A and B are shown apart, each in its own frame.
Chain A
Amino acid sequence: SAQKEADTRQMLDRMIRVDHAGEFGADRIYAGQHAVLRNSSVGDLIQQMWDQEKHHLATFNKLLPEHRARPTALLPLWNVAGFALGAGTALLGKEAAMACTVAVEASITEHYNDQIRQLANTDKEAHKDLIEIITKFRDEEQEHHDIGLEHDAELAPAYQALSGAIKVGCKAAIWLSERV
């Protein structure tokens, strides 16, 4: 059971690290989008979604020392890459910005679902609080995804290619942040 404890510790350590990295990246993506589109018709919408992400990031900033998890060493990379992705897609137009939102939020929702399943399979009672938090965040990310679709994400140029590329990038970022 010492082995089981060590396994649980490693699982939690990875989860909190990757979630923290994810919310940090999402915060930077919205910052990039807002920097370009702040005066457009979707400026307020982006601001609203950004505020919710800021709340997510603050929660994980608190959870990190609570669980004695290590933050990912790639934070400076996600800082730059997130802002570049947000600003880049925003420069392609507001539909592209929404497409980026849709792709990122879809990735994150799937990732949170996997985590909830993993936590529930390990020990539902012990991880009740964490499951609750992640469920709430997953629902909010799903909301962002739906808002993005409502606002003409699919009318973006090369929507399938853009969306596919962003999802692959998110998967790679998740894999790296879990380990580095």
Chain B
Amino acid sequence: MSASCRSLIKLQKLRIFPKAAQTLSCGARVNIFPTNQNRSYCAEVKKEATNEPKQDTEDVKSEDKRPEAEAKRTDTWAEAELKEKEDKQRRQKEADREQTIKVEILNASMKYVTKHGWSKLALASGAEDLGYISIVSGLFDRGGEELVLHHIKTSNKKLDAWMIEEVDRYKKAEEKLPITKFIKAATKQRLLMNEEFIRGGVWGEALALMAKPQNIPESVGCLQQVCDDIWHRAGDTSADLNWYSKRMLLAGIISSTEVFMIQDLSQNFEETWKFLDRRFEDISGVPQLGK
């Protein structure tokens, strides 16, 4: 036995390279193929070697075997590929199903937030409403923060739908869209979506949760998204640095007004709207905005 064979058997005993050891047991000449294919190929070769009588010369036999073995080998690969694709589809479907369930639970938990705060208890109550056991709230590893994010994201989507309607309304009336007025109205609309939680005294907690370092990327991303949506619907076509200044100024206005709104006790949030007007006045001096 050669030195390499001996070392491979040693490795087999140590269970370090079991695949290399299998190669050895099939015969050293086939160790250029990937292992599972290797084994089936070896199986085919062994079967053909035992079944057919050794009448013809070795050369002719090996050439006959090769195209058949070749075809069988391709089938095994095609099968493996198909199986992989089906696996991937199955995993995707499961992930989608889990996502749908999570969204249902989040929607159902919203009404418990003023009672229980942004917490797993609210999630558990929502889950129980839908007929799941309360431990399903463990699906949400960040707990209440996922509720806040869900509220923010659904509000942003609602705002986008509202803005599309507004733009359509102006288009039907064949009026030019008044940019500042539209942006102010959109901001008001978006801030009012938090009203229920502000009156319930839990929005401050929500903002604090969103300011945690591990949540900042996602919450800032949502703010960026809403500013981009508002400017896009307002008809912004800037292709230079104005793109950035417009959105950053709007982001500043929205976030400062949101914080002001938490402590506003006036009727219909009048003080907040006055604060918002003052913020818009502040930036009206910036020439690039071209409002």
Interface residues of A (CB under 8 A from B): 20, 60-62, 64-65, 68, 70-71, 73, 75-76
Contact = CB atoms under 8 A, between A and B. Distances in A.
Interface stretch (B107-115, B147-155, B235-243): B235-243
Nearest to B228: A68
B232 A71 contact: no
Given A65-B232, A73-B244, 17 more contacts: A60-B239, A61-B239, A62-B237, A64-B237, A64-B239, A65-B236, A65-B237, A65-B238, A68-B228, A68-B232, A70-B243, A71-B238, A71-B241, A71-B243, A75-B240, A75-B241, A76-B241
Contacts of A61: 239
B107 to A, nearest CB: 17
B82 to A, nearest CB: 20
Contacts of B232: 65, 68
Contacts of B238: 65, 71
A71 B246 CA distance: 13
Nearest to A20: B239
Interface in B179-233: 228, 232
Contacts of A73: 241, 244
A71 B240 contact: yes
Q: List 9 A-B pairs, minimum CB-CB distance, nearest first.
A: A65-B237, A61-B239, A64-B239, A71-B239, A71-B243, A75-B240, A68-B232, A75-B241, A71-B240
Which of B236, B239, B240 has the most C-beta atoms of chain A within 10 angstroms of its own C-beta? Answer: B239
24 contacts: A20-B239, A60-B239, A61-B239, A62-B237, A64-B237, A64-B239, A65-B232, A65-B236, A65-B237, A65-B238, A65-B239, A68-B228, A68-B232, A70-B243, A71-B238, A71-B239, A71-B240, A71-B241, A71-B243, A73-B241, A73-B244, A75-B240, A75-B241, A76-B241
A68 B227 CA distance: 12
A62 B239 CA distance: 8
A108 to B, nearest CB: 19
Nearest to B229: A68
B245 to A, nearest CB: 11
A61 B239 CA distance: 6
Contacts of A64: 237, 239
Nearest to B243: A71
A64 B244 CA distance: 14
Contacts of A62: 237
Nearest to B242: A71
Contacts of A20: 239
Contacts of B236: 65
A71 B243 CA distance: 7
A59 to B, nearest CB: 11
A70 B232 CA distance: 11
A101 to B, nearest CB: 24
Contacts of B243: 70-71
Contacts of B241: 71, 73, 75-76
Contacts of B237: 62, 64-65
A74 to B, nearest CB: 10
B243 to A, nearest CB: 5
Contacts of B239: 20, 60-61, 64-65, 71
B263 to A, nearest CB: 34
A26 B244 CA distance: 22
